[in-house]
Amino acid sequence: MIELHDVSRIFTVGGQEVRAMDHVSLDIMPGEYLSIMGPSGSGKSTLLNIIGLLDTPNSGTYLLEGRDVTSLKDEELAAVRSRKIGFIFQFFHLIPRLTAVQNIELPLLLAGVSRKERTSVSTRLIEEFGLRGRHHHRPDELSGGQRQRVAIARAVINQPAVLLADEPTGNLDRTSGAEIIDLMEQLNKNGQTLVVVTHDPEIGERARRCIRVVDGRIASDTRMG
């Protein structure tokens, strides 16, 4: 479903080249649960951003569901992001002045979905994600774990082809972190393709496939049980 062929991403900072991704090739199948690990600055986030179409490679090709998305224009990129990609961030990135429901519905709002339809989907997600009674709470009235659950609900509301999480537990205590991982694994069990970047080996090793990135290259690609 996701096919990266020989993809490189080079940043030039002060005349110096930084190879954040160095000739990376990677295939991800539908329904897979994949973790990306590696030292800081190895290029994990860069890889995730390229998969999520927030960044474009300097060379190589990227096929998403068979479609070449390597060099799309802004409008097309945004449209693909809107329909195919769900993002989860370390710092939640909820909009502080919006309520939980409004945050969850944001992707549908941007996509021009009617209010009625939005409400019906978000109500279901709020139930599913254990956020009942929190509809109209603003982010600062929610716990860290609840915030991340709102963020996950927001990420999956448009039924994306792939859910991308960059250090989703990085800003949570152990128990809330575990809850979040459980929730994402539950989504994966229901068929959701899932890619998680993490520093935590305990979390990384729970995935059925684990990739190690070092210096912008894939150092190992292990499938478990």
Ligand X SMILES: Nc1ncnc2c1ncn2[C@@H]1O[C@H](COP(=O)(O)OP(=O)(O)OP(=O)(O)O)[C@@H](O)[C@H]1O
Q: Which residues bind another protein (CB under 8 A)?
A: 49, 52, 54-55, 74-75, 77-79, 81-83, 85, 87, 89, 91, 93, 95-98, 102, 106-107, 109-112, 114-115, 154, 158
CB of residue 166 to Mg ion, shortest distance in Å: 6
Residue type, 148: Q
Q: Write down the residue that tokens 């959701």 correspond to.
A: 192
Nearer to Mg ion, 42 or 122 (CB): 42
CB of residue 178 to Mg ion, shortest distance in Å: 21
| Burial class of residue 224 in the structure, from the number of CB atoms within 10 Å of its CB (0-12 exposed, 13-18 middle, 19+ buried) | exposed
Of residues 103, 102, 101, the one with CA closest to residue 124: 101
The site map against ligand X for 18-37 (x = CB under 6 A) is x-x-----------------
CB of residue 93 to another protein, shortest distance in Å: 5
Contact 54, 84 (CB under 8 A): no
Q: Tell me which of ligand X, Mg ion, another protein, none is bound by residue 98, counting a contact when its beta carbon lies within the kind-specific cut-off of 5 to 8 angstroms.
A: another protein
Q: What is the DSSP string of 70-112?
A: TT--HHHHHHHHHHHEEEE-TT----TTS-HHHHHHHHHHHTT
Among 42, 99, 176, 193, binds ligand X (CB under 6 A): 42
Beta bridge partners of 34: 195, 209
Q: How far is CA 27 from CA 115, 126, 169, 217, in A?
A: 37, 33, 25, 14
Among 42, 45, 148, 158, binds Mg ion (CB under 5 A): 45
Among 25, 27, 29, 41, binds ligand X (CB under 6 A): 41
State the residues that interact with ligand X by CB under 6 A: 11, 13, 18, 20, 38, 40-46
